[in-house]
Amino acid sequence: MILAQITDLHLTEPGRPVYGRYDTEAAVTACIRALNRLQPRPDAVLITGDLVHDGTPAQYRNLLRLLDELEIPWYPMVGNHDSRPAFREVLGDRFADLWEGEFIQFTFDLGPLRVIALDTLDEGFHTPAFCDQRLSWLKAELAGAGDRPVILALHQPPFATGLDWLDGGGTGWAEGLRALVAAHDNVRIVLCGHVHRSIDRLWAGTLASVCPSTCYQAWLDLEHQRAGFVMEPPAIRLLVWDGEEIVSHLQPLVEAGPAWEAIAPDVLKRLMDHVARTGVLPKDINSRERGL
């Protein structure tokens, strides 16, 4: 099973760049085309918030128009730039059976995996919230997952990333979440967005991972003196279940030039058979092709 994560699309109305400089519609279009080209194709795409930039119905309609070109089932989450009322107005009918109640939280299964998506939106603020009601919902969903391996997703990271202007008001909002996750060792990974960078950290006994945006990235300043964005490459995350664990791959969305096939397919098969038999990979593969 393969789950693709994309995040922070920041889509606007057609023809309006974000901050007057970032064409997020072109970026989302390129991301959708890249996802459709993947082989093997992911079983689902999880979009971890900031679907649009200003949370207007017009922006969600534009989002739906673009995502209708995605040939893979997709699941949208909300982030701090989103609006629940506008989200429900445009996307509510499409995903009516996915969630219920005040918050846009939901669960779905991919083979043996249980994916649990959380709502950390605090309407009117960029800082996150995770109230007792949301925590109780998660507690019930984790109990219902039993021993299934769980992928947990939320928009804002529940840990300090070192980018103060994006970390916001600290991590006190996530203390209950941290304790609950720490008590469930079947939570294999926590997926986040928001920070527009690739960041990984051990948190609550598991791996927490931030995916870069599909558009612009956050300026990496660990001296805490600047805030801004840069046109570093966008990326998607691919989470592959190998039957025992989740393997995470970060795939940049850039034209990298033609690939070089270092080992011919027939030689590669013999090589893998050799490794399976012997448990070793010979260094002199090129000169020993016929002997493998």
Residue ranges per structural domain of the chain: 2-252, 262-292
Q: What average pLDDT does this structure show over 91-105?
A: 90
First to last CA, the chain: 31
**Sequence-distant (≥ 6) Cβ neighbours of residue 36 within 8 angstroms:** 69, 70, 71, 72
Topology annotation, domain 2-252: Purple Acid Phosphatase; chain A, domain 2 (3.60.21)
Residues 16, 114: Cα–Cα separation, whole Å: 37
Q: What average pLDDT does this structure show over 182-203?
A: 97
pLDDT per position as a tens digit, 236-261: 999 999 999 999 999 999 765 566 66
Q: What average pLDDT does this structure show over 155-160?
A: 96
Confidence band (pLDDT; 50, 70, 90) for 283? low
With CA atoms as reference, report the closest residue to 238 among 257, 212, 219.
Answer: 212
Distances (CA, A) of 91 to 12, 63, 68, 124, 278: 16, 10, 12, 20, 54
Kindly state the tokens that stand for 212. Answer: 């870069």
pTM beyond cutoff 0.85 = yes
Q: What average pLDDT does this structure show over 142-153?
A: 96
pLDDT per position as a tens digit, 203-219: 999 999 999 999 999 99
Q: What average pLDDT does this structure show over 184-202?
A: 97
Find out whether 116 and 152 touch, Cβ atoms under 8 Å. Answer: yes
With CA atoms as reference, report the closest residue to 206 among 164, 155, 163, 248.
Answer: 248
Question: Among residues of the chain, what percentage have pLDDT more than 70?
Answer: 93
